[in-house]
């Protein structure tokens, strides 16, 4: 964990440099500021500096802080990046613009029913468990293509894929694998790369990076 956070400007500069170094168009990678369990005054500070795209892991926590922030700062885009319980799906679709953690059929079915009923849906990413870690959420790589067929059959077109590589290993093979899976399935969105490895993720095609501790400081869980 990085304990001295960098300014938004500094992170954005590093992102811009990585984007340019990869020969990609300026602004083609979205910085998601991951604000889970961060104090409201830090989030407020980053909003004041101009950041509008945020990620949260817990529906309850997001419901507690984002309605007021949204009212005060127009243009906020909120991404759900944590595991989503089916019984929280309704609240989640009302709160989030993007849900990145679609990881099982029962959740996709619930989201499809909600989309039918509401006539609209957040953008959806499928979370892939690229390291096949038992404790981690996500569709296993070998099940992804079949899962995508099922989800598309529900009239629920996903925008991309998301992964969280295992800790303590080189993330690059995971970034490559996710990019391959997206390409062969015709998906444009690639949410990968966090505080410690976002530049490598950009080099391998990330369209969204999720940066928490580098921007806000280490998280202290109550
Ligand atoms: C917490 C979290 C992040 C941010 O991690 P940092 O290492 O603090 O940048 C990114 N993605 C997901 C899914 C997370 O849960």
Specify the ligand 1 atom closest to the Cα of 219.
8
Specify the ligand 1 atom closest to the Cα of 196.
7
2 — pLDDT class (breaks 50, 70, 90)? very low
User: Cβ(158)–Cβ(102) under 8 Å?
Assistant: yes
Q: For ligand 1, say whether the CB of 84 is within 6 Å of any of its atoms.
A: no
Q: Per CATH, which fold does 8-20+28-216 belong to? A: TIM Barrel (3.20.20)
Specify the ligand 1 atom closest to the Cα of 195.
9
220 — pLDDT class (breaks 50, 70, 90)? confident
Is the pLDDT reported for residue 62 higher than 90?
yes
Give the per-residue pLDDT at 155: 92
218 — pLDDT class (breaks 50, 70, 90)? confident
Is the pLDDT reported for residue 186 higher than 90?
yes
221 — pLDDT class (breaks 50, 70, 90)? confident
Mean pLDDT value of segment 125-153 = 97
Is the pLDDT reported for residue 1 higher than 50?
no
The preferred substitution site among 33, 53, 194 for testing ligand 1, maximizing ligand atoms within 8 Å of CB, is 194
The preferred substitution site among 56, 200, 210 for testing ligand 1, maximizing ligand atoms within 8 Å of CB, is 210
Radius of gyration of the chain from its Cα atoms, rounded to whole angstroms: 17
User: Cβ(189)–Cβ(159) under 8 Å?
Assistant: yes
Hey, is 10 helix, strand or coil?
helix
Other Cβ atoms closer than 10 A to 54 = 26
pTM: 0.96
The preferred substitution site among 46, 212, 216 for testing ligand 1, maximizing ligand atoms within 8 Å of CB, is 212
What is the C-alpha to C-alpha distance for residues 126 and 159, in angstroms, rounded to an integer? 8
Q: Fill in the DSSP letter of residue 5.
A: P
Q: For ligand 1, say whether the CB of 110 is within 6 Å of any of its atoms.
A: no
Whose C-alpha lies nearest to ligand 1, atom 12? 81
The residue ranges of every structural domain in the chain are 8-20+28-216
Across all residues in the chain, what is the average pLDDT? 96
Give the per-residue pLDDT at 3: 56
Q: For ligand 1, say whether the CB of 163 is within 6 Å of any of its atoms.
A: no
């Amino acid at each position: 964990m990085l304990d001295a956070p960098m300014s938004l400007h500094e992170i954005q500069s590093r992102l811009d440099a990585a984007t340019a170094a990869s020969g990609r168009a300026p602004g083609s990678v979205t910085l998601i500021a991951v604000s889970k369990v961060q104090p409201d005054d830090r989030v407020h500070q980053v909003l004041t500096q101009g950041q509008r795209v945020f990620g949260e892991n817990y529906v309850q926590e997001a419901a507690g802080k984002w309605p007021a922030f949204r009212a005060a700062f127009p243009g906020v885009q909120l991404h759900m990046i944590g595991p989503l319980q089916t019984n929280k799906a309704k609240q989640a679709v009302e709160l989030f613009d993007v849900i990145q953690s679609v990881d099982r059929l029962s959740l996709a079915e619930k989201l499809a029913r909600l989309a039918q009923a509401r006539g609209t849906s957040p953008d959806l990413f499928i979370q892939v468990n690229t390291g096949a870690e038992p404790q981690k959420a996500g569709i296993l790589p070998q099940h992804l293509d079949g899962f995508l067929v099922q989800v598309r059959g529900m009239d629920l077109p996903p925008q991309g894929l998301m992964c969280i590589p295992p800790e303590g290993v080189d993330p690059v093979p995971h970034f490559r694998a996710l990019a391959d899976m997206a390409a062969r399935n015709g998906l444009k969105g690639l949410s990968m790369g966090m505080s410690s490895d976002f530049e490598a993720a950009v080099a391998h095609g990330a369209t969204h990076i999720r940066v928490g501790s580098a921007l806000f400081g280490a998280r202290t869980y109550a």
